[in-house]
Amino acid sequence: MSGDMREKTALPATGRRRFLIGSALTGAAPLIARGGSAGAAETSLANDVRNPVGIELEINERTYRLNVDTRVTLLDALREEIGLTGAKKGCDHGQCGACTVLIDGRRQLSCLTLAVTAEGRNIVTIEGLDGAGADLHPMKQAFIDHDAFQCGYCTPGQILSAVSCVHEGHAGSPDEIREYMSGNICRCAAYPNIVAAVSQASEQMGD
């Protein structure tokens, strides 16, 4: 298809907005048909979207008090409500591992975890993964030593998953590391470097 044809068939920005608004209001048609109004339908939709509850999250040894919708994921709470953007939104379907955090010491996909279910649990993000004193955590240092990242987008999730992989006792060999890190995708394909980094950190972490 030529560029000219694409320009002719593409909807203008105002056309796209009208289409999206019209699509959203289509769901209000039954209410309007029963004697309601478009305004009442919009109010009903707005009330359905926002159903806040108060929760307390223990993150990186700090307590955060939030009012969030019961359907908000931990990933969105971290990024949008608290400002901890280390956990990345990659696929948002639990398939890439970029959003990995530690909950009670175990790796969890924050995009598939509701924020309300994490209340009362110990959450660690990449921002809270520290070493002894002023030193970097051994896993962070190993990723630097082995250049185990390129664009860096997946790196926070890779590091936290790697820490859990070591604690779980699954870093005994390169093959085992590859198997138990397979849920974390690196689109830059730095996998050999990641395996080397996990091997080095495993020795230093003493697990």
* Tens-place pLDDT, residues 118-176: 999 999 999 999 876 778 999 999 999 999 999 999 999 999 999 999 999 999 999 99
Q: How confident is the model at residue 34 (pLDDT cuts 50, 70, 90)?
A: very low
- Tell me the C-alpha distance between 197 and 143, whole Å: 5
pTM of the model: 0.76
Lowest mean pLDDT across 50-54, 74-78, 146-150, 166-170? 50-54
Average pLDDT over residues 17-37: 45
Q: How confident is the model at residue 206 (pLDDT cuts 50, 70, 90)?
A: confident
- Tell me the C-alpha distance between 82 and 12, whole Å: 36
With a CB cutoff of 8 Å and minimum separation 6, the contacts of 32 are: 38, 41
- Tell me how far apart the 2 most distant CA atoms of the chain are, in Å: 70
- Domains of the chain, each with CATH number or no CATH: 3-49 (no CATH), 52-128 (3.10.20.30), 138-205 (1.10.150.120)
Structure tokens at 188: 């830059």
pLDDT of amino acid 31: 39
Question: b or e along 128-137 (b: 16 or more beta carbons within 10 Å of the residue's beta carbon)?
Answer: bbeeeeeeeb
pLDDT of amino acid 19: 44
